[in-house]
Amino acid sequence: MPNSAIPVITIDGPTASGKGTVAQKVAQHLGFHYLDSGALYRLTALSALRRNTPLDDEHALAKVAEHLHCHFDGMHIFLSNEDVSDAIRAEVVGNTASQIATLMPVRQALYGLQLGFRKAPGLVADGRDMGTVIFPHAALKVFLTASVDARAQRRYKQLIDKGFSANMKDLSMDLKMRDERDTHRSSAPLKAADGAHHLDTSEMTAEQAVQQVLSWYAAVKTN
C-alpha cells in the first residue's frame, strides 16, 4: 500500500482535553498505529533537562530532538530503553515541552520522525498540529476541546494517580498559560484544521467521545 493511501485520523486539541485517551482507544478499536506527538516534545524536554541543555538555545535543543532514541510499546514510552512513561508527565517536563514547541528548529527536527509513524493499516495521531501541518490530507480530522475546569480536573486526577502532587488552582492557571502560548505561537499554532469536526468533551465520557469519532470515520469510509 503506498504511503499516501494509508488512512490517517488526526485528533488535535489543547492540553488535558482528553485527546490522548480518545486517540488511543480509537486506534485500538480500528487496529491502527498510534502517535502521541506531544510525547515527542516531552521526550525532547526530558532529555534537555537531564543534559542541562540551555532552554534558550534553540539549535542545541534541535540537536536533542534529532537524536532522540525512543519507541512506543502500547501505553509505555521508552527513551534509550528506559521506561519514561511517568517521568514525561511531570509538570516541569510538560511546561518545558510547551516552551520548546514554539521553536521552529525543534519542530523541524521532529517533523520527519512524526511522518514515519504512518504505517499500514492506518494511524491515529494526536497533538496540536496533526491536522494542520503534519497530516493535512488526513481522512478524518477532529478538533477536541473541553472547558478549563474539566481539563484541570482530569489533569489533577492523572497526576494524583501517578503519584505526583497537584493543586487545582495552579493547574487551571497553567492550562490557561499553555493555551495562550500554544494558540499564539508563530510556528504551527494550535487551531482547528480546515474541515475538522469539533468535539467538546466537557460533559462526555471517553467512551462517548470515542464512539463519536468512530462514527465520523465510518461516514468518511462510506463516502
Annotated binding site for ATP, which residues? 13-21
- Give yes or no for a contact between 130 and 9, defined as CB atoms under 8 angstroms apart: no
CA dist 109 → 3, 61, 64, 152 (Å): 21, 9, 9, 31
Contacts of 66 (CB under 8 A, 6+ apart): 109
Binding residue ranges: 13-21
**Packing angle, helices 91-100 and 168-184, rounded to 10:** 10
Q: Which of 133, 112, 106 is nearest to 45 (CA)?
A: 106
